Amino acid sequence: MTELVWPDAPTCHGESPRFAQTAASWREPRKRRDDSDPYEQTWRTCWYCGSIHPEDLYRLLDGQAVVEYQDFDANAFSGDHVQYTQALADHYSRRSEQGIHVGGSDWKYGWPHKFYIDGIPNPAVGQEYVIYTYGGERADESVEYTNHHGEKGWRRVHSRNTCPSTTRAKWYNEHLTDLAPETFEVMAALLETHSRIKFYLVDGKLHYSAPFRGFQH
């Protein structure tokens, strides 16, 4: 097999104004931010959109068994949001313990622009994390904190919990266009195997083929 070549930096986002001050890059895996964060990452992410690095996605999915069962038809609910939400939750709960797999495909922009990668082992499993309530009047049990923007405030412990065994990543399919041709073919085939959605290039533009609009596998 030809050695796969991976991008040194994301290129698919083009000339975003956000790159004027910070160059597009891959961020190193993120540790828990604080005791309210129940997850720890083991994969690199795109600085701009948060997508998992394609090489890390390849390593997660390559050799994994494909999780198979009845497809979820998002078009079957005729606009009934309550039934849709419950059915989708049931759909994924049945897959939650079946190993690393491609979960839902996000059709928010009219095409499957994003996949969720579920079942990734969480290195923080078993550790404690805290759910806080924020704001309101200061009380005896309140503690001062500083948020990620450097702003100070008050919070109180709502509950103490145990970090779950698995976490999830997100993959934006436009990052397929970051790849060299041989690597693109391998990644597109791997994604098709796990999602049943095919991606291909026409004149350098990304196209897809799915069983139907809104398809979930």
Residue bearing tokens 């009380």: 139
CA gap 198, 200 in Å, rounded: 7
According to DSSP, residue 17 is labeled G
How far CA 64 is from CA of 91, 175, 182, in Å, comes to 20, 21, 21
Task: Return the exposure string of 110-135: e unless at least 16 CB atoms fall within 10 Å of the residue's CB, then b.
Answer: ebbbbbebbbbebbbeeeebeebeee
Token duo for residue 93? 């709960």
Mean pLDDT to the nearest integer, 63-73 = 65
Mean pLDDT to the nearest integer, 33-57 = 95
pLDDT tens column, 182-215: 999 999 999 999 999 999 999 989 999 998 888 8
Mark whether 69 and 142 lie in a shared domain: no
pLDDT of residue 16: 62
Mark whether 175 and 75 lie in a shared domain: yes
Mark whether 58 and 92 lie in a shared domain: yes
Mark whether 24 and 47 lie in a shared domain: yes
Mark whether 29 and 121 lie in a shared domain: yes
CA gap 56, 37 in Å, rounded: 22
Residues 6+ apart with CB under 8 A from 3: none
Q: Is residue 10 part of a domain?
A: no
According to DSSP, residue 214 is labeled T
pLDDT at 76 exceeding the cut of 90: no
pLDDT of residue 55: 97
Sorting pLDDT into bands at 50, 70 and 90, what band is 68?
Answer: low
CA gap 101, 165 in Å, rounded: 15
pLDDT of residue 124: 96
Mark whether 58 and 133 lie in a shared domain: no
Residue bearing tokens 């083009």: 14
Does residue 91 or residue 36 have the better pLDDT?
Answer: 36
Which residue, among 88, 92, 62, 63, has the nearest Cα to 75 in the 3D structure?
Answer: 88
Q: Is residue 106 part of a domain?
A: yes
Per the structure, the complete domain to which residue 117 belongs is given by: 17-126+165-216
pLDDT of residue 50: 95
Mean pLDDT to the nearest integer, 112-137 = 88
pLDDT tens column, 129-177: 998 887 766 666 677 777 767 877 778 888 899 999 999 999 999 999 9
pLDDT of residue 34: 87
Q: Is residue 63 part of a domain?
A: yes
Report the predicted TM-score, pTM, of the whole model to 2 decimal places. Answer: 0.80
At 133, the amino acid letter reads: T
CA gap 30, 24 in Å, rounded: 17
Mean pLDDT to the nearest integer, 11-24 = 73
According to DSSP, residue 39 is labeled -
CA gap 78, 191 in Å, rounded: 29
According to DSSP, residue 62 is labeled T
Sorting pLDDT into bands at 50, 70 and 90, what band is 127?
Answer: very high
Mark whether 175 and 157 lie in a shared domain: no
pLDDT, the chain, mean: 84
Mark whether 61 and 81 lie in a shared domain: yes
Number of folded domains that form the chain: 2
Mark whether 57 and 149 lie in a shared domain: no
Which residue, among 44, 55, 42, 49, has the nearest Cα to 11 in the 3D structure?
Answer: 49
CA gap 189, 150 in Å, rounded: 44
